[in-house]
Chain A
Amino acid sequence: MNVTAMSGRGHDEPPWLGIDAGSTTLKAVVVAPHGRVARASIYLRHHGDLARCLDEAVGRVARDFDGVRAFVTGTAGQRIAERLGAPHLHEVPAVLAAVRARHPEAATVLDLGGQDAKLARLDRGPDGAVRRIHSAMNDRCAAGTGVTIERCLARLGVSSEAARAVRYDPAQVRPVSSKCGVFAETDLVNLARAGASLDALVMSLADAVVRQNLAVLARGVALDPAAVLLGGVVVHLPALADAWAHHLGVAWRARGLSASREGVIVPDEALFYGALGACILGDERGVTSPVQGTRALASRLSGGVAAGGHRAPEPPIARDDDEARAALDAWGHGPSEVAILQVDPAGASIGIDAGSTVFKAVALGPRGEVLARSSRESRDPVTDARELVRAVEGALAAAGWRVRAIGVTGYGAGLVAPVVGADLRVLETVAHARAARELAPDADAVCDVGGQDVKVLALDASGSIRDFRLSSQCDAGLGLALEATARELGVALGDVAARALAARRAPRFGDGCVVFLDADRVTFLRQGWTIDEVLAGVVRALPRLVWERIAHGIFDGRRPRVVVLQGGVHRNAAAALAQREHLTAALPGVRVRVHPFCAEAGAIGAAYCARDAVGERARGAVDARPAVVRATTQMTRDTRCSLCASGCARTFIELEMADGARERHVAGNGCEAGAERDVIDGRRLARRKLTAVPNLLGDEARTLFAPRRGPPPLSTPPRRVRIGVPRALSMYRAAPFFRAYLEALGVRSDDVVFSPFTDARLWREGAGHGATDPCFPVKVTLAHAHHLLARVHRGGRRLDAILAPRSTHASIPVRHGRDCASCPVVEASPVMLRAAFAQPGGAFEREGIRLLDGPVTLTDPPRLRAQLHAMFGELLSADRASSDGAVERGFAAMRAVDEALRDATAAVLDRIGRGRAEGPAAVLVLCRPYHADPGINHRVGEELQSLGYPTITIRGLPRDDGYLRGLMAPDLDAGVIEDPFDVRDLCDDATNSGGLERLWAARFAARHERLGVVDLSSFKCAQDPPLERATRRVLDDGAVVTCALRDLDETRPVTSLRVRLATFAHAMRARGLRPWTS
């Protein structure tokens, strides 16, 4: 709270009260009538209780006055205004009124609120007067800047004081997604897990928010000085203002403008411009406001505000008080306290779950009894892990127990395992499966809802993971959303269950991501729902999000009998009850069990697994183990792995043992080669792996763009022509064609300049160009064009043209389809390029670069010949005959590349064979061609390679009719398909080439029996979801082990990616599908 009291009377007219009721806070100012300066101000968090908050605000700033005239603004202000009969003014014009009054020189205004980010550009005429205001507010997908920042900071355990102390240093910024708050949170958590400092995390968050605002609000339009930054976040997080100053400075310098810090203004009263501006705007517009008695002001808000909204309310979580009480009794108190039992000579096993922010440890007796447990929030993983284990070991030792085994699981396991001398590192999914089976031997499904991630596992009869769904980037932070909502509503976490169960109805939250839940919360509070009802609504949304969004379809065809609920969220009795009700309604007959130690289930599973791994080999008495007396970690640029372009951010750990011995470990490495500190050793290992396990996904990307020696050109342009080509989208199908075509018309091989593969730097440098919000593969095209312009052209290799053709169709193996069209977004990507670079007066025109963005239809040769001659004839001085001949060269080049890829794939398929129950297997990567770009597929090929599995691609799959007829004989014999290239039984009306060939390839995998599938899809892809279910059905019917990596976006979620792929590899091995190397 921040308050400055106004003192003294002396006005004949009652003062004006400006009220800015935002989504999370209420700001109020008192100004003299027609004044432009706040005489008193207050800033309060309202936690949804606007009446109480307004009462407090008025009591503090206007207590000396009998009456005021109120002017209201803010997203939650409408209700106040209606109740008071006061005018409500939109917050953006209000803020702008205050800015005009206080900073007449301002050209840019950014106001970061709790839920909304608003940007206004004041377009001035030659006389300096504002001619037009261009304004932008974030769309809902990027909503929640202020709340998102707060949630991220809370997630990282950064106090507001600590955040306030951080200053921005661009050199320390790490890649964090600027796409949306949930993605940013995931990235930050991953960086924290990898050992990044809190200061670096705060700076990275600030940087991400600025980049997000620039992309979504400014959309590539230059912002002019002076820029006024407003809003609570700007005040409370100075690093954010610094980051803005940095980015604006860079842009201003590039335009030859002064980049002084004075051009960025953060006013002292930045919090109050909305409230102040409401009064000023009301005055400017001549809006009248009745005089209000200050004592009765707030009381007019309370009571009688009906909860509204369009949707019918949801029923209560508990049917009646008895059920609520029973839920609280059963699950509301947490597990009973544990006590060390009588010593058993078999010894105890310790399990540690090194989560993203909380570490938990349990000690199990030989029969699984919990002997001791401990947990602590983790700030320094190494120290915290040591102390945690020391505490548990100490309790055991005091009672005379010896430690038989230590198992570690969780995201921080790589760091923690060497520090605590663990016997085993256990994959978290495996640990959870194990814990569930120990609790319920007939359990065939596990649902773990933690703070950050959700894991839903389907188990086979042996307890191995048969199928799994893990929350994607988009679904992250679900458990924490409950916590964050409670915090926003001012409810203690321990009270959430009781209050949610007490609500007799609930608003219906949407089924979007956590950011969307936050947006709904604001809407519902605005509509008058009570805090308890809103809490109940969030809890009710939980099972829908888990089962209909994350775990959609996991039980199709195989209904589970027993589901075990694990994870800290199920300690909330309301959440557990809502889950049980949802499951029993959706899956009649299912039994639902809540693990009594649900928060520690991962640690318990790790302890069981470690005990089994150690077997009879006891590790000796606790005190016999040399203790770690010193542990140091190092995570710098020098520790980053340089063996491949993944550039894993590694942590080097140095341990000094009590007996003087020293140990050195590496964490955060993506493969075993990366575990070698020495680059030469690492390279040797990496080479061995590369030759042993093919990665045809990576090979395809390289092969497509490799220069090939061709016959002499058919014609030669009168002057040398250099053409830049963004290495993106349809080029991942057609690059060999275009290279051969251009070379045939006399363009030198080294004058066909492809941008490099996508990487973080390329994206960062080019992301600000007229950004829009489609899938990453499309929007990164702008960054590729920027690279060609800024790095290639301006770097001295001047380009005559940039080729970004509008590819209308693609050649695919599927027959009988209605069409084989390109994705319309992909096809239209040149529209974005033109809007960003090739408008009149734009960068391309200034640099004399031509944009070649004509249509190209590779499936229709006559049309293609005309299209290409129209596009290139004049530029290359090629006549039609030469151009047509070049087209043939292009097709020949495509055939050559396809044959090479198919030969390589055939070699892999020969090695794995068919019809074996056990043996080496391979992974078919089900994706769109551009997912071969390692910067888009997050190097999934290399990750699988390090797990010992080769990858093959759709393009390389055999097209030999005889082979395919044998493979698909069951479908052909049953008359389901007409020929091996028919998918009409799965989908007869799809027209998208990429979707259709994915379906076909899915059937290939389903019939082959020795292939697993990794299914890649980008965030915001609109073409994959319609066929998702049909694809999944084919794969499930064929019992194909599948790992779906949805929501691929700009940043690489290293740890969650590895958990998924490791779980996938576990399921493959359980099915007898062995890796090529151990």
Chain B
Amino acid sequence: MDLLIGGVSSLHDPLLAAALRGCGFDATALPTPRDEDLEVGRALLPRATPNPGLYLVGAVLRQLGEMARARGVSVAEAASRSALVCVSGRYFHHASQHREAWRAAGIDALPTLDLEFGRVDPIVALSTRLRAPVARVTRALLTAVATGDALLLAGCEARARWMDAPVDEALSHHRDRCVTALESGVAPWSSLAALPTALRGVTSREGPPVRVRVTGDFFASMTDGDGGDGVLRQLGARGARVSPATLSEWVSLWRWRAARGADGDARRRLERVDSVLRTLHRRATTAAGVSAPFADIDDLASLAAAHYPTELLDAPGFVEAGHLLAAARDRSADLVVSLKPFATTPSSAVSDALMHALSQRTDTDFLSIETNGDARAQVASRLDLALDLAAERLRVSGR
């Protein structure tokens, strides 16, 4: 069985695939999504499907096509020997929806294994199915998560000082070294340790750097080709110091949500997952020379609870409220940018009202951006405006 893993980011996907290979599975990372994939997704999935889901379906079909060509079999045959592994997102719940897409593409079956870290069960199922120890698989995957995050954080920090190209080059080089380590079942910390040197650059930007906290939807800011990915690059290019949304935070959020309804063993297992991830995150960020505290979902929830019901089903909307309030409390960011794919519920539909009301009462600016892969000029313009106003406030305040 070929496990196709993707839909997270070009940094994380190869690491997750390598982690699975290190556990003895045949795992391949999906190619970095392109806009052609978005078009394929649009043709196969219902409209209003958020674009990370569209990119994913397109990338899967492209990969299956390449596998079919390489093996001299049909796409359907290639699919019949494969399974898609993806990380839970708000729009990846409907495996049935994927099935409809595969059917429309002439594929009878391509099972989706949803890596719901919060539930643990899918990892158990995956491990059982492939006769691998659960703890080992879980740890390998979480190591990949933490490593990808460390690369991401280092990249964001470097983009404020460097042009994109050398940063991308350094990141992919070190990611590949980490891939090799994970494939061998070795922790990639020593591979990460060379990263700070590689990314050491000169600061050439003028003016006070605006500190930007990015929140909202993890996949919106990670999907290559999507406007969200461009947002991180644009922020860097303008010299902003960006704290991006990380996969660790996303996993931790799902774990947090699951833990609320769990008891006994399940709860303890989830706490263990969180503890392991926390440790790995510290190891990875230390190795990569970046400073980024592990997301404290309890803190975010307690800040947001008075404004946003944290138990709301399927709605990590409270996280953006929490980040805004935390940024204002700690004076840790000048601007909070919430990135969400167009048509994602409920953040864009519900919490905009709340966030607008909240941002009137804090000193931290808030900008909500919906991405759908198009209209980049407009997204760029809104972001530039928010950065300009934040920078001007910093200039006036003399910070």
Residues of A within 8 A of B (CB): 75, 89-93, 115-116, 118, 132-135, 137, 139-141, 143, 219-221, 309-312, 508-512, 516, 519-520, 522-523, 526, 544, 548-549, 552, 556, 770-775, 778, 806, 808, 821-825, 827-829, 831-832, 834-836, 839, 855, 986-991, 1020-1023, 1025-1030, 1033
**Is residue B70 contacting chain A, with contact meaning CB distance below 8 A?**
no
Known contacts A516-B374, A523-B375, A773 near B35 by CB under 8 Å: no
**Is residue B36 contacting chain A, with contact meaning CB distance below 8 A?**
yes
Known contacts A773-B348, A774-B350, A1029 near B43 by CB under 8 Å: no
Q: Mark B381-399, 1 if CB is under 8 A from A, else 0.
A: 1101110110011000000
Query: A984–B159 Cα gap in the complex (Å)?
Result: 48
Residues of A within 8 A of B313 (CB): 808, 821-822, 824, 827
Query: Which residue from chain B places its CB closest to the CB of A840 in the assembled complex?
Result: B361
Residues of B within 8 A of A991 (CB): 93, 314
- Tell me if B381 and A310 are in contact (CB < 8 A): no
Contact of A773 among B42, B43, B352 (CB under 8 A): B352
Contact of A828 among B346, B377, B379, B393 (CB under 8 A): B346
CB within 8 Å of A: which of B348-392? 348-354, 356-357, 360, 363, 369-370, 372-379, 381-382, 384-386, 388-389, 392
21 A–B contacts from the bound complex (CB under 8 Å): A90-B381, A93-B389, A132-B363, A135-B386, A312-B35, A510-B373, A510-B374, A526-B377, A771-B353, A775-B349, A825-B345, A828-B315, A828-B346, A835-B307, A989-B94, A990-B93, A991-B93, A1022-B48, A1025-B46, A1025-B49, A1028-B46
- Tell me if B349 and A772 are in contact (CB < 8 A): yes
Chain A nearest CB: distance from B83 CB in Å? 15
Contact of A510 among B34, B230, B356, B375 (CB under 8 A): B375
Instruction: Give 10 new A-B contacts, CB below 8 A, not counting A510-B375, A523-B377, A824-B345.
Output: A92-B388, A134-B360, A219-B352, A310-B225, A510-B372, A512-B374, A520-B374, A778-B350, A1020-B343, A1027-B94
Contact of B349 among A132, A519, A520, A778 (CB under 8 A): A778
Query: Which residue from chain A places its CB closest to the CB of B50 in the assembled complex?
Result: A1022
Residues of A within 8 A of B363 (CB): 132
Query: A512–B39 Cα gap in the complex (Å)?
Result: 11
Known contacts A310-B35, A1026-B49, A132 near B374 by CB under 8 Å: no
Query: Which residue from chain A places its CB closest to the CB of B382 in the assembled complex?
Result: A137
Residues of A within 8 A of B42 (CB): 511, 548
Known contacts A519-B375, A828-B350, A1028-B46, A821 near B314 by CB under 8 Å: yes
Query: Which residue from chain B places its CB closest to the CB of A822 in the assembled complex?
Result: B313
Chain B nearest CB: distance from A136 CB in Å? 9
Contact of A1021 among B39, B48, B350, B392 (CB under 8 A): B48
Chain A nearest CB: distance from B255 CB in Å? 19
Chain B nearest CB: distance from A819 CB in Å? 8
- Tell me if A855 and B311 are in contact (CB < 8 A): yes
Chain A nearest CB: distance from B105 CB in Å? 12
Residues of B within 8 A of A92 (CB): 385, 388-389
**Is residue B97 contacting chain A, with contact meaning CB distance below 8 A?**
yes
Known contacts A828-B312, A989-B95, A1026-B49, A93 near B349 by CB under 8 Å: no
**Is residue B100 contacting chain A, with contact meaning CB distance below 8 A?**
yes
CB within 8 Å of A: which of B21-46? 34-36, 39, 42-43, 46
**Is residue B74 contacting chain A, with contact meaning CB distance below 8 A?**
no
Query: A137–B378 Cα gap in the complex (Å)?
Result: 9
- Tell me if A1025 and B356 are in contact (CB < 8 A): no
Contact of B385 among A90, A512, A1026 (CB under 8 A): A90
Contact of A310 among B93, B312, B376 (CB under 8 A): B376
Residues of A within 8 A of B48 (CB): 1020-1022, 1025
Query: A137–B353 Cα gap in the complex (Å)?
Result: 15
Residues of A within 8 A of B345 (CB): 774, 823-825, 1022-1023
Query: A133–B392 Cα gap in the complex (Å)?
Result: 10
Chain A nearest CB: distance from B391 CB in Å? 10
Residues of A within 8 A of B360 (CB): 134, 221
Residues of A within 8 A of B356 (CB): 219-221, 770, 772, 835
Query: Which residue from chain B places its CB closest to the CB of A511 in the assembled complex?
Result: B42
Residues of A within 8 A of B370 (CB): 139-141
Contact of A987 among B46, B94, B307, B311 (CB under 8 A): B94
CB within 8 Å of A: which of B301-318? 307-309, 311-315, 317
Query: A91–B381 Cα gap in the complex (Å)?
Result: 9
Contact of A986 among B96, B317, B351, B388 (CB under 8 A): B96
Residues of A within 8 A of B104 (CB): 556, 1029
Known contacts A510-B373, A772-B353, A825-B346, A140 near B49 by CB under 8 Å: no
Residues of A within 8 A of B49 (CB): 1025-1026
Query: Which residue from chain B places its CB closest to the CB of A987 in the assembled complex?
Result: B96
Residues of B within 8 A of A526 (CB): 377
**Is residue B82 contacting chain A, with contact meaning CB distance below 8 A?**
no
Query: A220–B355 Cα gap in the complex (Å)?
Result: 13
| B49, B225, B360, B381 pick with most chain A CB within 10 angstroms | B381
Chain B nearest CB: distance from A219 CB in Å? 5
Chain B nearest CB: distance from A521 CB in Å? 10
Residues of B within 8 A of A825 (CB): 345-346, 349-350
Query: Which residue from chain B places its CB closest to the CB of A854 in the assembled complex?
Result: B309
Chain A nearest CB: distance from B374 CB in Å? 3
Chain B nearest CB: distance from A864 CB in Å? 15
Residues of B within 8 A of A548 (CB): 42-43
**Is residue B331 contacting chain A, with contact meaning CB distance below 8 A?**
no
Residues of A within 8 A of B385 (CB): 90, 92-93, 118, 135, 137
- Tell me if B381 and A75 are in contact (CB < 8 A): yes
Chain B nearest CB: distance from A442 CB in Å? 27
Query: A257–B151 Cα gap in the complex (Å)?
Result: 55
| B225, B307, B312 pick with most chain A CB within 10 angstroms | B312
- Tell me if A116 and B381 are in contact (CB < 8 A): yes
| A134, A516, A556, A835 pick with most chain B CB within 10 angstroms | A835
- Tell me if A310 and B230 are in contact (CB < 8 A): yes
Known contacts A516-B374, A828-B309, A90 near B357 by CB under 8 Å: no
Residues of B within 8 A of A519 (CB): 374-375, 377-378
Query: A311–B226 Cα gap in the complex (Å)?
Result: 10
Chain B nearest CB: distance from A23 CB in Å? 8
Contact of B388 among A93, A312, A1028 (CB under 8 A): A93
| A143, A771, A831, A1020 pick with most chain B CB within 10 angstroms | A831
- Tell me if A552 and B374 are in contact (CB < 8 A): no
- Tell me if B47 and A552 are in contact (CB < 8 A): yes
Query: A132–B389 Cα gap in the complex (Å)?
Result: 9
Residues of B within 8 A of A133 (CB): 389
- Tell me if A988 and B96 are in contact (CB < 8 A): yes
- The 7 lowest CB-CB distance pairs between A and B, nearest first, are A774-B349, A510-B374, A1025-B46, A987-B96, A523-B377, A1025-B48, A311-B35
**Is residue B223 contacting chain A, with contact meaning CB distance below 8 A?**
no
Chain A nearest CB: distance from B97 CB in Å? 5
Residues of A within 8 A of B343 (CB): 1020, 1022
Residues of B within 8 A of A1025 (CB): 46-49
**Is residue B191 contacting chain A, with contact meaning CB distance below 8 A?**
no
Residues of B within 8 A of A135 (CB): 385-386, 389
Query: A93–B395 Cα gap in the complex (Å)?
Result: 14
Residues of A within 8 A of B9 (CB): none
Query: A942–B96 Cα gap in the complex (Å)?
Result: 35
Known contacts A508-B35, A516-B374, A549-B47, A1022 near B96 by CB under 8 Å: no
Contact of A824 among B47, B312, B382 (CB under 8 A): B312
- Tell me if B375 and A806 are in contact (CB < 8 A): no
Query: A265–B279 Cα gap in the complex (Å)?
Result: 60
Contact of A770 among B307, B314, B346, B353 (CB under 8 A): B353
**Is residue B344 contacting chain A, with contact meaning CB distance below 8 A?**
yes
- Tell me if A1026 and B94 are in contact (CB < 8 A): yes
Query: Which residue from chain B places its CB closest to the CB of A769 in the assembled complex?
Result: B353
Query: Which residue from chain A places its CB closest to the CB of B357 in the assembled complex?
Result: A835
- Tell me if A90 and B308 are in contact (CB < 8 A): no
Query: Which residue from chain A places its CB closest to the CB of B354 in the assembled complex?
Result: A835
